[in-house]
Amino acid sequence: MLLAIAMAVTGQNKKVAVWETKCSDNSITPFQSTMVRGGMETAVANASGYTGYDRASFDAIIKEHNFQRSGAVKDSDIRRLGEMAGVQYIIVPEALASGDDFYIIVKMLDVETGEYGAAYDALCGSSAIEIKKACSELGVKLFGGGSGNTYTSTSQTNSSQSQSANGHEYVDLGLPSGTLWATCNVGASKPEGYGSYFAWGETKPQSSNTYNWNTYKYANGTTRDDPKLTKYCSQSKYGDNGFTDDLTTLQSGDDPATANWGSGWRTPSKSQWDELKSNTVNQWTTKNGVAGRLFTSKKNGQSVFLPAAGGRWDSELHGAGSYGNYWMRSLGTDYPDYPGLAWYLIFNSDYCGMSNGDRDNGFSVRPVRQK
């Protein structure tokens, strides 16, 4: 339930403590961190039906019990501290800075249930005045039930700005190329769903859930050094019986986005992933308990969430909850003497970048389309 509803039902003031501002990449200054926390404390003080818990007392409990203040602090530890302090809710603010852009997420932890009842985000400038204003607006959304992007909704964006094509929702992030990003992975029905895993150039998951050169559709070999490729090969020594076709980009018939979602949808190119990274602020976070990265547009504040779905090779799923691996539609170029590679995006809690991966791996696909 929204906190405002809970307050109305009980008719009693709820005690709220504010956690120290978390920053996953150390991009904000101590002053900015204090501004965010102070802004949310002010929001609590101005909220009807809520009472702020004294910061000095709360910090004393943290120090006394030697709890980690920020970074990768566990929700279970935050909840324990809330129980010790006798508060009903804890605001957990997070912030990231990129140039003149400042991104804030505030989440409200229900100490009794251990779950986040609501969460809102804001993209603002990095000045003290703009941070203070953003915190005030976030406070109104948390305590007054204002409109915003909540982590319990079915879409990362406001419903008035989300659209669909062929039955699949997408987000307009205001990117220069006009690329529209899907809100879900292929095979998933919600943004935090892992979805299906595809070897590069295959349109269906492996029925055996085994991903290696023995099961890869376009190879008659069994090793990465001698794959005997039957498609997407530019070097005869790696092709089956000297085969080459000089194809370096997925054809529509081999694109899992097109094959599963229909015309207009494609697996992103490397340039489209580069554009996404350059024009958004991305942050490691959770959505409905699922870890991943949230990419928020610097232009219009809209966002897409990519879950850390891990990847499949051989018969095991590796790194789910810790890593995200997302195919691009182009072959890898960093290692020209090895043709069994394709570009993909890889991220974890500390890193987000491009790499070359074995085509036989089972990775996620997040489709795109053009305006």
| Cβ–Cβ under 8 Å, residues 78 and 72 | no
CB 124 within 8 A of CB 130: yes
Choose among 138, 94, 149, 141: nearest CA to 301: 149
CA gap 215, 65 in Å, rounded: 53
Return the structure tokens found at 57.
Answer: 């007392």
Per-residue pLDDT of the chain (371 residues; tens, 9 = 90+): 333 333 333 346 789 999 989 888 889 999 999 999 999 998 888 887 888 888 888 888 777 776 665 555 677 888 888 888 889 999 999 999 988 889 999 988 888 888 877 788 888 888 888 898 889 888 888 886 443 333 333 333 333 356 889 899 999 999 999 999 999 999 999 999 999 999 999 999 999 999 999 999 999 999 888 899 999 998 898 899 999 999 999 999 999 999 999 999 999 999 999 999 999 999 999 999 999 999 999 888 889 999 999 999 999 999 999 999 999 999 987 676 677 899 999 999 989 999 999 999 999 999 999 99
Closest CA to 17 of 96, 109, 122, 103: 109
pLDDT of residue 223: 87
Q: Which among 26, 134, 116 is positioned nearest to 70, based on CA atoms?
A: 26
Q: What is the Cα Rg of the chain in Å?
A: 23
**Domain edges within the chain:** 3-144, 163-370
What the block records as the tokens of 280 is 């958004």
pLDDT, position 148: 38
Q: What is the pLDDT of residue 54?
A: 86
Nearest to 283 by CA among 99, 23, 90: 23
Q: What is the pLDDT of residues 88-134, one digit of tens each?
A: 999 999 999 988 889 999 988 888 888 877 788 888 888 888 898 88
Give me the CATH code for the 3-144 domain, please: 3.40.50.10070
Angstrom distance (rounded) from CA 59 to CA 292: 29
The predicted structure's pLDDT at residue 101: 86
Phi, psi of 318 (to 5 degrees): -115, 140
- Alpha helices per DSSP H over 46-158: 55-64, 75-85, 128-144
Residue 152's pLDDT is what?
A: 33
Choose among 27, 29, 96, 16: nearest CA to 58: 16
Q: What is the per-residue pLDDT for 158?
A: 36
Residue 265, classed as helix, strand or coil, is coil
Residues 103, 95: Cα–Cα separation, whole Å: 5
CA pair distance 343, 334, nearest whole angstrom: 9
